[in-house]
Structure 1
Amino acid sequence: MNHVLCGLAANAALSSELVNRLIAVADADIAVDLAGRADLSHAQAVALVSRVEEIGVKLAHEGLLTAADVDPAAQPHAALALLHERAGSPEWARLFAADLDLERREKLAACSGLPADVVEALAADSDVRVVAELALWTTAEVAARLAEHPHAEVRRAVAANEATPPDVLAALITGEGLPPAQRCLVCDREATPFVHDAQCPRPDCDLLPGASCDGSHESTMHDLQEAALRNPAAPTEAVVGFADHPSMLLRWVLADRSDLPTEVYRRLATDPTPGVRAELAENPAIDDALIRTLASARGHDVQRRLAHNPHVPLDVLTHLAGATKIGATLLPRIAAASPAEVQELAQSPNPAARMLLAQRRDLQPEVRDALATDSDAKVVKSIASHPGLTEAQLRAMVDRHGVQVLANVATNPDASPALLEDLTRHEPSVQKAFREVARHRNATAQALLACLVDKQARPIAAGHPALPPLVIVELLTDADWQVVEAAAANPSLPLAVISDLLPQL
């Protein structure tokens, strides 16, 4: 891989002529960066896909190619991507439906708006993987028909399709009204009964660990039930019985649904598996009483997930903040807090509650300023990146709390160039602070040179436009390829140097 050319391909300072020179020598790696350019023209996209066919997928999805630009025989990836965007020719669909390449037929089956005859051909495909792919994305009418397919893998795909009618999903879950499935991927290949060894030594085996069939296709039917439980179109009455199912995974998936009766949620709240209770805890459909019950629950992640529930009462959330590690994140309930609740949180004697509030970035100046002078370093750390803080306030934070807030102060969008320079000179230093300074829009050349000394900040600083041009040029030969690519993509790299690095047309 030529990391210099890959970096140049992403350099926003390149002229159209220089981009053309890169296209002329592009390989698959360079093409990825070129395809990501905001200024890539239609003509350049056509030239690029003619050189690197696979990049046509990205270009087609981004609307840079039309059907007139693509030859389906020579550029099948681009043609299939256009079909996926409903911008290809119906004749292409017929061509790919008869293609000997399984992967192309599978990709075609995932496209919507296909001609009826193509859908019929895919539904009758000799490879069940193609039929299953069609079942996953097709219309309600076709999905209902494929629910009766003799292969359990196709039925599993129908169960995952959100267009599948509710009554069909209910039939798939219960098996009522449908003929039994005759085959699955396991009994297609192995004599039953068979359980696939998780440590299977066969290099060409693609059966999942634990896949099994005793004639009832049990592992595929389990996967079908899981897919149906995840499907929001599955009717409530067809899924409530899974609250007592012996499969922990199915109960876990059920706990995420928002359409269950209160009694079912209560049963799930006493599930012996902590993961099921944790999934339930974040479900916005559970009521206040159940939230309070789960707030005292111990076990894997229950309290942390409950803190992310958008309907958790503030008093419960305050308790959770002190009882579990939530992390530096803006919780949905805090984001939705009313002005009165904001004041309540700001004045809370619990620093954990003030820390949660400090994650908001739309606080009134008086609330923001009060939190900026908080005696607790964790609160100050949370508020440090809030816009609107003055340089004096930011410096005061560093003076009071030092390394505990240094990196967060460096993320403040209003941090001045002088402050950023001082942060890089702070003793003791904080490695994360160098990374934040290196990506800051106000970073000066002096601050960036200091960041280059830090291994993790070096690639970030190499791409900063405030870095001196001579330094950028030196970094083109750095031992770290990430630094090389970042320097080559730096818009402050002299155009004369760029031109010399590119081959002439």
Structure 2
Amino acid sequence: MNHVLCGLAANTALPSELVDRLIAVADADIAVNLAGRADLSREQAVALVSRVEESAVQLAYEGRLTAADIDPAAHPQAALAMLHERAGSPAWARLLAADPVVEHREKLAACPDLPPDVVDTLAADSDARVVSELALWAASDVAARLAGHPHAEVRRAVAANEATPPAVLAALVTGEGLPPAQRCLACEREETPFVHDPQCPRLDCDLLPGASCDGSHESTVHDVQQAALRNPATPTEAVVGFADHPSMLLRWALAARPDLPPEVARRLAADPAPGVRADLAGNPAIDDALMRVLASERGHEVRRTLAHNPRVPLDMLVQLAGATRIGPTLLPRIASASPAEAEALSQSPTPAARMLLAQRRDLPAEIRDELAHDPDAKVVKSIAPHPGLSEAQLRAMVDRHGVRVLAKVAANPDAPPALLEDLTRHEPPVQKAFREIARHRHATASALLACLADQQARPIAAGHPALPPPVIAELLADADGQVVEAAAANPSLPPAVMSDLVLRL
């Protein structure tokens, strides 16, 4: 890989005439960055495809090409990309439906708004992968028709399709009203009875671990049921009976359903599998009483998931915060807290609760300022990136809590240049702070030069436009390819240097 040319190809300040020169010599790596340029003209896009055929797919997805620019026989992948974006010709779909390459037909089957005759052709395809892909995205009438397909893998895809009619999904769960499946991936490839070894040593084997068939296609039938249980369009009455099913995976899928009846939820709350109880704890459908039962669990994962439930009562969430490692994340219930609830949380005697509130970035100034002076470093660390904090407040945080809050202070979008410079000189240094400063919009040349001394911050700093142009040019010879590429992509790289690098190709 030529890191200099790859970086130049992404440089937003590269003149159009130099873009043309890069297109003329582009390889696959350079083409990726060229195709992503916002200023790439249609003529340049067509020229890039002529130079690097693989770039046609990216250019098609990014809307840089028109149907007139694509020959579907020469560039089937680009044609498929345009069909996926609803920008291709129906004639292409008919051509690709007969393509001998299975992967092309499979991708075609996932495209929207296909002509009815193409859908019929794909539905009758001899390869189950193609029909399965069609079944996964098909409209309700086609999905209903494919529910009785002889291949169990196609039925699994129908079960996952949210457009499948509810009655059909119910039939897939029970098997009633549908003809038995005749084959699955396991019995197609292996002599039955067969159970796929999870440690299968064959490098060319793509069967899932544990895939099995004794003639009843049991592992795929199980997968059909699991897909239907996860499908919100499947009727509630068709799935509630799985609360006591011997398969943990099926009970697990049931536990996350938003239409879970209270009596079924109570049975799942006593499930022996922690994963089932954890998913149940995060389900907004459960009531407060059941949440309190789950909050008393000793298992950390159940309590942690309950804390992420958008309907968890605030008093319970405060208790969970004090007893469970939730981490610095904005929980849904915190994000939706009313002004009065936010005020109450800011006064909580539990530091972890104040820390969770501090993750919000829309707090009123009075609450934000109160949390900025919190005695607990975890709270201050959470509030430090909040916009609107003054330089004096940010400096006070560092003075009180030092290295524990330094990186978060550096991440504050309003941190002024002088503060960022001072943070680079802090003793002891904090590596993560250098990375935050290196990407900060207010970083000065002095601060960025300090960041270059840190191995992880160096590639980030090399791409910052405030870095002095002579330094950027020097970094083009760096031993680290990431640094070289970032420097070459830096819009502050002197135009004369850009020209020299391209014109001497």
Would you call these one fold, judging by a TM-score over 0.5?
yes
Does 2:253 match 1:270? no
Question: In the alignment, what sits opposite 2:394?
Answer: 394
1:186 aligned counterpart, secondary structure: helix
Q: Measure how far apart 1:328 and its partner are.
A: 1.1
Counterpart code for 2:181: A
Question: In the alignment, what sits opposite 2:306?
Answer: 306
Check the 8 A contact 1:53/1:77 in 2, yes or no: no
Check the 8 A contact 1:6/1:33 in 2, yes or no: yes
Counterpart code for 2:295: A
1:324-473 equivalences in 2 (<5 Å): 324-473=324-473
1:24 aligned counterpart, secondary structure: helix
Rounded Cα–Cα distance in structure 2 between residues aligned with 1:342 and 1:161 = 40
User: After superposition, what is the alpha-carbon deviation per residue over 1:266-289, rounded to whole angstroms, capped at 9, x for unaligned?
Assistant: 111111111111111111121111
Rounded Cα–Cα distance in structure 2 between residues aligned with 1:107 and 1:444 = 48
Q: Greater CA deviation, 349-358 or 45-54?
A: 45-54
Question: In the alignment, what sits opposite 1:107?
Answer: 107
Q: Greater CA deviation, 110-119 or 151-160?
A: 110-119
Rounded Cα–Cα distance in structure 2 between residues aligned with 1:387 and 1:112 = 42
User: After superposition, what is the alpha-carbon deviation per residue over 1:202-223, rounded to whole angstroms, capped at 9, x for unaligned?
Assistant: 2222211111001110111111
Q: Measure how far apart 1:470 and its partner are.
A: 1.0
Check the 8 A contact 1:53/1:78 in 2, yes or no: no
> RMSD between aligned alpha carbons?
1.3
Counterpart code for 1:291: M
User: After superposition, what is the alpha-carbon deviation per residue over 1:36-75, rounded to whole angstroms, capped at 9, x for unaligned?
Assistant: 2222222222222222222222222222221111011111
Q: Measure how far apart 1:388 and its partner are.
A: 1.0
Check the 8 A contact 2:137/2:161 in 1, yes or no: yes
Q: Greater CA deviation, 298-307 or 418-427?
A: 298-307
Q: Once the two structures are aligned, what percentage of the paired residues are identical?
A: 81
Counterpart code for 2:179: P
Q: Measure how far apart 1:503 and its partner are.
A: 4.0
User: After superposition, what is the alpha-carbon deviation per residue over 1:424-458, rounded to whole angstroms, capped at 9, x for unaligned?
Assistant: 10001111111111111111111111111111111
Rounded Cα–Cα distance in structure 2 between residues aligned with 1:267 and 1:48 = 60
Check the 8 A contact 2:424/2:450 in 1, yes or no: yes
Structure 1's unaligned 5+ residue stretches are none
TM-score with structure 1 setting the length:
0.98
Counterpart code for 2:37: R
Rounded Cα–Cα distance in structure 2 between residues aligned with 1:252 and 1:276 = 5
Question: In the alignment, what sits opposite 1:239?
Answer: 239
Q: Measure how far apart 1:80 and its partner are.
A: 0.8
Question: In the alignment, what sits opposite 1:219?
Answer: 219
Does 2:129 match 1:129? yes
Counterpart code for 2:92: W
TM-score with structure 2 setting the length:
0.98
Question: In the alignment, what sits opposite 1:169?
Answer: 169
User: After superposition, what is the alpha-carbon deviation per residue over 1:304-358, rounded to whole angstroms, capped at 9, x for unaligned?
Assistant: 1111111111111111111111111111111111111111111111111111111
User: After superposition, what is the alpha-carbon deviation per residue over 1:107-158, rounded to whole angstroms, capped at 9, x for unaligned?
Assistant: 1111122122211211111211111111111111111111111111111111
Structure 2's unaligned 5+ residue stretches are none
2:188 aligned counterpart, secondary structure: coil
User: After superposition, what is the alpha-carbon deviation per residue over 1:231-281, rounded to whole angstroms, capped at 9, x for unaligned?
Assistant: 111111111111111111111111111011111111111111111111111
Rounded Cα–Cα distance in structure 1 between residues aligned with 2:337 and 2:203 = 55
Rounded Cα–Cα distance in structure 2 between residues aligned with 1:59 and 1:486 = 23
Question: In the alignment, what sits opposite 1:36?
Answer: 36
Check the 8 A contact 1:26/1:51 in 2, yes or no: yes
Check the 8 A contact 2:358/2:368 in 1, yes or no: yes
1:3-42 equivalences in 2 (<5 Å): 3-42=3-42
Question: In the alignment, what sits opposite 1:254?
Answer: 254
Question: In the alignment, what sits opposite 2:157?
Answer: 157
Counterpart code for 1:126: S
Q: Greater CA deviation, 329-338 or 174-183?
A: 329-338
Does 2:465 match 1:477? no
Check the 8 A contact 1:248/1:273 in 2, yes or no: yes
Rounded Cα–Cα distance in structure 2 between residues aligned with 1:217 and 1:503 = 63
